[in-house]
Amino acid sequence: MSILNRHRDAAVEIPELAHIIAGAAHAGGSAGSFEHINPTTAQVQMRVPLAGAREVDAAVAAANAAFPAWRGTSPEVRRQILQRLAELIGENAERFARLSALEFGGVITFTRFLAVMAQKFTNYYAGWADRLEGQVVTHDEESGFVYTIPEPLGAIAVIVTWNGPIISLGMKVIPALAAGNTVVLKPAEIAPFSSQLFMELAQQAGVPDGVINLVHGGGEAGTALTGHPGIAKITFTGGHATAHRILEAAARNLTPAVLELGGKSANLVFGDADLEAACAFTTLTGLANAGQGCALPTRVLVEDGVYSDFVARLEASVSSLSVGDPLADESIVGPVISRAASERILGIVDEATSTGAGRVVTGGKRLDGELAGGWFLAPTVLADVDPNSSVAQKEIFGPVISVMRFKSEEEAVALANGTGYGLSSYIQSGDAGRVRRLIGQLRSGTVGVNGGAPLTYNAPFGGLGLSGYGKEGGKAGIDEFLHLKTVLVR
C-alpha cells in the first residue's frame, strides 16, 4: 500500500483557499496563482491564489478602517474573543496538525505539538488584553503629574513562516490583536492551509470583519505589504535574505519590524554530561521537522575526551530514526519542503565531503524505494567538521547534524560564538558552575541547558546578528505591538 493511501481513512479536507478582506472571500488574485506541491508525494495538491498590490491595498485599507473600533473595544471583550479563539484552536488541533503535514511535510507528532503551542500562545496573550498598564512617572510639584499609556500601533503586517505556520500565527497575530491592533496576514504560498483554517476560526470566535485580513501571496505581495505606507509595523519569520528585502521596502516609510530569522545553534556537549540523554536530545530536537527549524541544536561541539564515544552514539541514534509518511504516528522524520531544498542540502553535504570539511558518518543521500516520490533525505551526521567551512557557518535547514570537537571551555565558547547567527545555544553538562559561567558568555537569545527546549509561550524568544531582532513570547512579545504615550499634567 502506498504512503498516499495508507492514511486515507484519517485524511483531512483542505480548506478552499481565498483572500479574506474585510470579512469577504476573494478567490482570485491579481498576481496569478501558485501550484502547491505536497512534499511527501511531489504532486500538486492545490492551486493558491496570489495577491498583488491591488489585494494588498484593499487589505491594508480594511485593517486601518477596522482599527478605531477594535482599539476602542473593551479589553475584556477582546480577551473573551481571543479566549474563544484559543478554545477553537484546541478543538481543531488535530485538523491543524494534519493540514500542517500536508502543507509542509511535518510529521504528525511534531505538528500536533505545534497546534498545542499555538493554543497556549493564544490563551496566554488573550490574558494580557485587559492587563496592559501604564506607569505613574512622577507627581511632584516641580514636574507635575506625569504618566504613560500603552497604546496600539495600527495595522500590523504579519508574515508567517512556512515551517510551522500555526505556531507562528499564535506568536504574532494574537499579541497584535490583544494589544488592540489590526492585522494583514500573509502566509507563505508554499504553506497556506493553516492560515486559511485560522481565519475561519477567528470569524467563528467573533473577531470583527477587517480586524484580520488574509492575503495569500509570494514576493509581489510581500513587497507591496512591507513597503505600504498604511502599515504601522512588520513582524516576519524567515531567512535573512528575505529580511534584507523587507527592510529595504520598509525603509521608505521608516516602518519598524520584528525579525525572527535563522540560526546556527551551537550545542555544547561536555565530558561530564549524561551522554545518553545528550545524544537523545541532539537527535530528536536537532532533527525535528527534518531539521527545518531556526533554533535546532544542529551544530554540535563535543569535548575531546568523549568525542569518539558521542559520535558513535549519535550514529546509532540517528540511523535508527523512522523516516516516512508525515501522517504516520511512527514517523520521526518527514520530507524536506521541496526539490530545490533537497538539492541544496545534498549539495552542502557533498561540498563538505569533497573539500575535506567533514565526513559522512550516516545518511548524506536522498531516499529511494517507497519514499522516492517525495523529498525524503536520510538523516545525516557529519563528523570532524571544519568550523570555518560553509557547512559549519551557513544555515543548512535540513536533516543534517554537524559535529566538531573542542578541548577547553574557552575554545568551546569561541566556536559557539563563531558564526554570524545568535538565536539559540545549548549546554549539556553536569557541572552547575560551568553552566552558570557559560550562559553569560554565549552570544544567543536563548540558552537551553541539559535538554531545555528552545521555545516556550511565556518567555521571550528572539536573536542577535543574522538571527534578527525583536522578541516573541512572554510580555516582551506583546510590548512589540504597543507604544508608550507620555502624558504631562500641570
Per-residue model confidence as pLDDT tens digits over 23-66: 999 999 999 999 999 999 999 999 999 999 999 999 999 999 99
For residue 323, what are the β-bridge partners? 333
Q: Which three cell numbers stand for residue 65?
A: 478602517
DSSP state at residue 308: H
- The ranges assigned to domains in the chain are 8-261+467-489, 266-456
Would you say residue 7 has pLDDT above 50? no
How large is the angle between the packed helices 409-416 and 432-441, nearest 10 degrees? 40
What would the CATH number be for the domain defined by 8-261+467-489?
3.40.605.10
Edge-to-edge strand ranges of the sheet holding 482-489: 136-140, 144-152, 482-489
State the pLDDT at residue 8.
38
Spatial CA neighbour of 213 closest among 97, 67, 75: 67
For residue 158, what are the β-bridge partners? 185, 235
Can you tell me the distance from the alpha carbon of 431 to that of 128, in angstroms, rounded to the nearest whole number?
Answer: 38
Give residue-wise pLDDT tens across range 449-487.
Answer: 999 888 999 999 999 999 999 999 999 999 999 999 999
Which ranges of 227-264 would DSSP assign to H, the alpha helix? 240-251
User: What is the percentage of the chain residues whose pLDDT exceeds 90?
Assistant: 95
User: What is the percentage of the chain residues whose pLDDT exceeds 70?
Assistant: 98
Burial class of residue 44, CB neighbours in 10 A (0-12, 13-18, 19+): exposed
Is the distance from CB of 199 to CB of 20 less than 8 angstroms? yes
Dihedral angle of Cα 357, 360, 363, 366, to the nearest 10 degrees: 50
**Worst-scoring range by mean pLDDT, 107-121, 134-148, 317-331?**
134-148
Burial class of residue 330, CB neighbours in 10 A (0-12, 13-18, 19+): exposed
Of 55, 279, 294, 472, which is the active-site residue?
A: 294
DSSP state at residue 13: P
State the pLDDT at residue 141.
85
Range 43-49 contact pairs with CB under 8 angstroms and sequence separation of 24 or more = 43/373, 45/14, 45/102, 46/14, 46/17, 46/192, 46/193, 47/17, 48/17, 48/189, 48/192, 48/216, 49/17, 49/18, 49/19, 49/216
> Is 133 an annotated catalytic residue?
no
Is the distance from CB of 464 to CB of 417 less than 8 angstroms? no
- Whole-number average pLDDT of the chain: 96
Of 55, 189, 260, 395, which is the active-site residue?
A: 260
Would you say residue 168 has pLDDT above 60? yes
Is the distance from CB of 427 to CB of 406 less than 8 angstroms? no
Would you say residue 253 has pLDDT above 90? yes
How large is the angle between the packed helices 53-72 and 219-226, nearest 10 degrees? 50
Q: Mention every residue, 6+ apart, whose C-beta is less than 8 A from residue 302.
A: 269, 310, 311, 403, 404, 405, 406
How large is the angle between the packed helices 307-319 and 275-286, nearest 10 degrees? 50
* Domains 8-261+467-489 and 266-456 alike in fold: no
54-68 in b/e form (b: 16+ CB < 10 A) is ebbbbbbbbbbebbe
Can you tell me the distance from the alpha carbon of 56 to that of 61, in angstroms, rounded to the nearest whole number?
Answer: 8
Maximum alpha-carbon separation in the chain = 82
Dihedral angle of Cα 295, 299, 301, 302, to the nearest 10 degrees: 100
> Is 279 an annotated catalytic residue?
no
CA distances, 203 to each of 159, 283, 362, 379 (Å): 20, 40, 48, 41
For residue 427, what are the β-bridge partners? 268, 449
Would you say residue 10 has pLDDT above 90? no
Phi first, then psi, for residue 398 (nearest 5°) are: -165, 180
Can you tell me the distance from the alpha carbon of 184 to that of 177, in angstroms, rounded to the nearest whole number?
Answer: 11
264-301 in b/e form (b: 16+ CB < 10 A) is bbbbbbbbebebeebbebbbebbbbbbbbbbbbbbbbb
Class of domain 266-456 (CATH, top level)? alpha beta
pLDDT band at 4; cut points 50, 70, 90? very low
Give residue-wise pLDDT tens across range 185-209.
Answer: 999 999 999 999 999 999 999 999 9
Give residue-wise pLDDT tens across range 225-245.
Answer: 999 999 999 999 999 999 999
